[in-house]
Chains A and B, each alone.
Chain A
Amino acid sequence: MMRFDHHARRKLLSHGVAVLTGLCVVAVLYPLVSIVYTAVVRGGTVLFQTGFLTSVPPNACSQVSCNTVGIGPNIQGTVILVGIAALISIPVGVLAAVFASEYRTRGVGRAISFTADVLSGVPSIIMGAFIFGYFILVYPSLTYSAITGGLALSAIMIPIVTRTTEEALRTVPNSTREAALALGISKWKTTLRIVVISALPGIATGVLLAVMRAAGEAAPLIFTAFGSNLYYRGLDQPIAALPLLIYDFALSPASNQQDVAWGATLFLLIAILITNVVARYMIHRLGRQMVGGA
């Protein structure tokens, strides 16, 4: 009898834990549901207005009908900023990863990957402050511009690209390198044309993750890209960005600007969801490839 009670209690505890951890998952996933729900309810009709993706954002307006709402300049600005950041961070990140993984350099390679790891944990606002501090000192006239905004985003992307590329390069089997070198192909061609190309799906996934993160960043752009309601006017001019618009308009008392912020939120969520699905598909294919090659 005694033993039976004990056993029942242990089983009960085990079931209790199952329920409890299940509730944890529900609590953790509730915000995701709530965010998507709120964005769809508040931003759904706004997003599908004609011209929302091409026209300029509205001024604050308290009348009933306030038209010409849009996020055109902000989409363009984010694409330009992330483009600049990608142009800088992809070559830098990939080459740094090549150094860390393809050359035997005692501790230096490890030091670099460790540094990149730690840098990827540095708050994005600090990256922005770092670029701001440099430009305010050296080129004050360029402080609020597309260039500084792009640089701030690239500072965020470089560590991510470096680490994910390094991981991808390490999955390329050594036999591949040895075979290429044995054929008399020079080291740099082996590295760039064979090793990097073999690791390309992994590298692309890392780049995609970094791009996605940069596209959603607002903090470092407040005092670098500065934001604007106009379309692109030059690399040395302040530039609009989607997350900056959400920040500005979310805190705006004007309801038409808040509506635009919700539309922009929904747009950004959809874009990130699509990128994420693509990245996952690539990881999945990569996994299959590796299994097939092993």
Chain B
Amino acid sequence: MDPSTPSPPSSPGPSSDSRKVSRWPDRIFFVVVTIVGLGILAMAFAIVGILANSSRESFRVFGWGFLYGTIWDPNKQIFGVIPFVVGTLLTSGIALLIALPLALGSAIFITTQAPRYLRGPVGTAIELLAAVPSVIYGFWGLFVIVPYMRTTVDPFLRTWFGFTGLFTGPAYGFGVLTASVVLAVMIVPTICAVSRDSLLAVPVAQQEAAVSLGATNWETTRTAMLPYARSGIVGGTILGLGRALGETMAVTMVIGNVDRIPTSLFSPGQTIASLIANELLSSTGPLQTSAILECGLVLLGISLGVNVAARLLVWRITKSAGAIVT
């Protein structure tokens, strides 16, 4: 677990006598490394501290009411975070609903169904999706997904599922649902990679036991592998959720950017991240800047909560989840 060196640097080993070179370089090195290491912790506190400090003005004016304020109106200088919290949670939630089955299906395909020669290339291709920058997803969403939603998906949903009340109002193509679809595409690789790793971590003996009892391929997966990999899959899903919550450029480019609580899945909206991207530069004054940064603090809180939960879960499973899955 802990492959550190046999002797800590502070306690000189038995062999160290006065003939050896000075201990000072070692001590200086230790001090430097310690300072930088603690710097990582300091950075975490600095992020919270600076955002909190920047939101003082907004907190002075609106107090805790900011956290349940449903109106964001720069003209009247009234600011509340709820429209963006709703936008953020709604888009991420729908994205998760779309992405989870697809990602899990792909992970099962790669680990148990695909012929061996396909597993590597398919896995690599899905990982490549994770490397595409957010702004390119946004551009692609703008040119491919938005028109497709407007002409095909939205009318279909309105016709067949209009009775649910979720699909009302004009369908511009830009809106909550479109943002959710693009987000889903972006978080599939995260969920898929962690799920695949958890499925691969299932002991072979466990699978062999199921097969020896006459289980088919799918029965082996369902009874012997999925339960074993469950916590890893849940962890990967929460990681994907964390990514969706903070995703900025792609959402900004397709959500429509309207500072109101969305009334249907077709209506344009705004997430906290897209709010910051859109309005921090065009802020009407110090109060709005401060309010935007307070929204950032709220997003940080949400994403820290989600990430800590996910990391604890994934850590418990694997003891060393690679940071490669970001």
Contact = CB atoms under 8 A, between A and B. Distances in A.
Interface string B211-250: 0000011110100000000000000000100110111110
Given A24-B101, A265-B136, A276-B128, A104 B144 contact: no
A29 B126 contact: yes
A163 B323 CA distance: 5
Given A115-B44, A247-B253, A273-B128, A268 B133 contact: yes
A120 B326 contact: yes
Contact of B303 (A121, A216, A246): A121
B66 to A, nearest CB: 16
Contacts of A29: 122, 125-126, 129
A213 B4 contact: no
Contact of A21 (B105, B248, B277, B299): B105
B321 A117 contact: yes
B29 A187 contact: yes
B36 A95 contact: yes
Interface string B267-296: 000000100110011000000010001001
Contacts of A118: 44, 304, 307-308, 311
Given A121-B242, A167-B322, A186-B21, A181 B5 contact: yes
Contact of B246 (A123, A174, A181, A222): A123
Given A32-B125, A38-B143, A163-B322, A21 B9 contact: no
Given A28-B103, A115-B44, A218-B249, A103 B133 contact: no
Contacts of A95: 32-33, 36-37
A57 interface: no
Given A103-B8, A276-B131, A187 B54 contact: no
A291 to B, nearest CB: 17
B210 to A, nearest CB: 12
B54 to A, nearest CB: 4
**Which applies to chain A's interface (DSSP): helix, strand, loop or mixed?**
helix
Contacts of A257: none
Contacts of B50: 130, 133-134, 137
Interface stretch (A8-16, A48-56, A69-77): A8-16
A22 B217 CA distance: 14
A27 B102 CA distance: 8
B53 interface: yes
B6 interface: yes
A23 B109 CA distance: 9
Residues of B in contact with A, size category: 35 or more
Contact of A272 (B51, B131, B253): B131
A126 interface: yes
Q: How large is the interface on A (under 10, 10 to 19, 20 to 34, 35 or more residues)?
A: 35 or more
A186 B129 CA distance: 45
A155 B42 CA distance: 12
Contacts of B321: 117
A17 interface: yes
Contact of A28 (B126, B139, B239): B126
A116 B307 CA distance: 11
Contacts of B53: 133, 137
A14 B87 CA distance: 39
A34 to B, nearest CB: 6
B185 interface: yes
Interface string A161-174: 01110010010111
A126 B47 contact: yes
Interface string A80-101: 0000000000011001101111
16 contacts: A24-B102, A35-B137, A42-B143, A119-B43, A125-B246, A136-B289, A137-B53, A173-B3, A181-B6, A187-B30, A190-B5, A223-B280, A243-B135, A261-B139, A262-B139, A273-B128
**A-B complex: 8 closest residue pairs judged by Cβ atoms:** A123-B246, A163-B323, A216-B133, A24-B105, A99-B37, A188-B29, A21-B109, A121-B307
